[in-house]
Amino acid sequence: MGSFFAKYKLFGLVFLGLSAIIIYLFYNALQPENVLPVYQPNMVDKSLVDSTLYYKKKYHTIADFALVNQNGDTITQDNYKGKIYVADFFFTTCPTICPIMTKNMGEIQAAILDDPNIMLLSHSVTPVIDSVPQLKKYALEKGVVDSKWNLVTGDKKQIYELARKSYLAVKTDGDGGPYDMIHTENFILVDKEKRIRGFYDGTNREEINKLLEDIKILEASYED
């Protein structure tokens, strides 16, 4: 009799184990896939968006560009073709949020240094001041790795239009100047199709951690 119950006890334990595995697999299968949103202009604060795009609901991508980096090289969208990248807007003489943003971008650089799929792109909002020599000096001071991170300057109109019409990340300063900007603390995550996949406070430690996690999620989506 004892051997009979022992046999069924073993069967019961095996059945419970298999049931637990099946339930776990079903649970995972039913979980929503972790996918980042694709941001459109109508999803963003209007103060950051050019008025011509307020109601655009789909197909938004980063426009083509040609700017000059800290080494005097022309940087275009082709340098970022097939890459995931993080973009922001700054200026080298900014005494407030820029040093924090640059430090945090430096930490992102360290995290993605050995990943060929990820790059960084920082646009100067005072390109007249931020000449190539000024950007080079700043890059050396901040530990910028040229192969991973471009600090770019160039035509102010082009940078302004990129900020307002492409990256949806910069406010006007309200003084009547046609191409004057107040940059935000936003870091913008851009995918390989040039679409915006996230906005993050570049001065906030928790937001930086979230950005790094979202980079992993986005990169994994290209492995399916």
Known binding-site residues for Cu cation equal 94, 98, 183
Residues in contact with 90: Cβ distance below 8 Å, sequence separation at least 6, in sequence order: 98, 101, 102, 122, 123, 124, 125, 183
The residues pairing with 183 across neighbouring beta strands, listed in sequence order, are 170
Answer yes or no: are the C-beta atoms of 62 and 194 closer than 8 Å: yes
Question: What is the spatial distance between Cα 179 and Cα 157, in angstroms, rounded to a whole number?
Answer: 6
Distance of CA 132 to the CA centre of its chain: 24
Locus of tokens 């426009």: 63
Task: Show Cβ contacts of residue 3 under 8 Å, excluding neighbours closer than 6 positions.
Answer: none
**Binding site membership: which residues?**
94, 98, 183
